[in-house]
A and B are shown apart, each in its own frame.
Chain A
Amino acid sequence: MKLIGRKNSSNVQKVLWCCAELGIEYEHQDAGREFGVVDTDEFFKINPNRRVPVLIDGDFILWESNAIVRMLSAKYGIGKLFPKDLQTQANAGRWMDWQLATLGPDFTAMFHGLVRDKPENRQWDAINKSIIATQSNLQILDQYLADQEFLAGDNLTMGDIPVGIYVYRWYEFDEINRKPLPNLERWYAKLTERPAFKECVMVGLG
């Protein structure tokens, strides 16, 4: 099995973290941003969407990061990352979709502004809007974490993965004022104790 995509991409990190939790072995190839590759004709054949990550398992090719995490969890982690119970599965899947639809898009302006733009080029209006939206998104997570350990119950599931990567990034920024979210902080502290999270996600902002 081969995984294509630079290790500092949040979307690639979802798959790296998932594989590390489940002890899945794979061959890795860098691609995207500083590594290029995604603009080549060969890459277009495996992913016309031209983004990372891509997973190649024999003649099966899959792209879209959450779809890869869900597939690997269902193949190698039933009862662990992939809950057996359909409702728990649906709850976990909901947080993955919510990261794609809401948390991720609201986060982008802040991340690009604070990490990729030079200080003199920062668009503070957009950054501040993004910070406010993210704070309110994280409040939703905090509410759900009030009476459960993880996002889909008392165990880590695939539902914690996409969101966990964003929360790492949120707590890494020096420039922002964060309102306290005690349940989220407790959950996040648990993630930071996991070797797979340390290895794959807590690697700085790139």
Chain B
Amino acid sequence: MLKIIGRDTSSNVQKVLWVCGELDLPFDREDLGGPFGGNDDPEYRAINPNGKVPTIIDDGFVLWESNACTRYLAGKYAPGTLYPDDLQVRSDAERWMDWQIATVSPTLVPVFWGMVRTAAKDRDLDAIEEARKKLSANISIMDAHLVNSTYFAGEKFTVGDIPLGITAYRWFNMDIAREPYENVRRWYDLLCERPAFQEHIMKPMA
């Protein structure tokens, strides 16, 4: 059976859990990282020298980097649906996955740490607001893209919606100011109807 290593509150682990949920893939999950520690254990470093979560083990094949794991599982178990056959559609989807890593995540992290992982009395609200504006600028790019597109890579839900879907859950559920991005809201409401999203993403943030 597929094994997933990583705590289920990690946004990167959630990408993999969500894919598994969409595909009804059974898996065993082992907690690691955050409060569970273990990132520096020699046994873990032996399979993932980068030390982060998730790592997946699929029938002996070890893979780490969350988007690579997401793409691999979708490519193996959902070609033509979650992982589009058409090269342009697939590239469009994968572009939004890369963009989440390269651009969005660095703007989400300081807001998330400030609002979710820092006690209210210790928050640097000016720094958080500065970071929130940068995050909001990225959400506005998503909003502009979704004007003409139901999902990120067209009219169907694909791997391209997964990393940014987790970003959107955090955007809508942190106690922060939010500009009214109507297209992002419409897309996010569709995600909230998906059982796999409800099960793996719509849970308390930690």
Contact = CB atoms under 8 A, between A and B. Distances in A.
A79 interface: no
Interface stretch (A21-29, A68-76, A109-117): A68-76
Interface in A46-70: 48-49, 60, 62-68, 70
A77 B69 CA distance: 22
Q: Which of B90, B98, B99, B144 has the most CB of A within 10 A?
A: B98
Interface residues of B, number: 32
Given A86-B76, A97-B68, A75 B87 contact: yes
A87 interface: yes
Contact of B71 (A93, A101, A104, A143): A93
Interface string A75-89: 100000000001101
Interface in B147-200: none
A97 B67 contact: yes
**Interface class of chain B by DSSP:** helix
B95 A67 contact: yes
B81 interface: no
A90 B98 contact: no
Interface in B65-91: 65-69, 71-72, 75-76, 87-88, 90-91
B120 interface: no
Interface residues of A, number: 33
Given A86-B75, A90-B72, A94-B68, A100 B63 contact: no
Q: Which of A62, A87, A89 has the most CB of B within 10 A?
A: A87
Given A70-B91, A90-B63, A100 B72 contact: no
B106 interface: yes
Nearest to A141: B49
Interface of B: 49-50, 61, 63-69, 71-72, 75-76, 87-88, 90-92, 94-95, 97-99, 101-103, 105-106, 141, 144-145
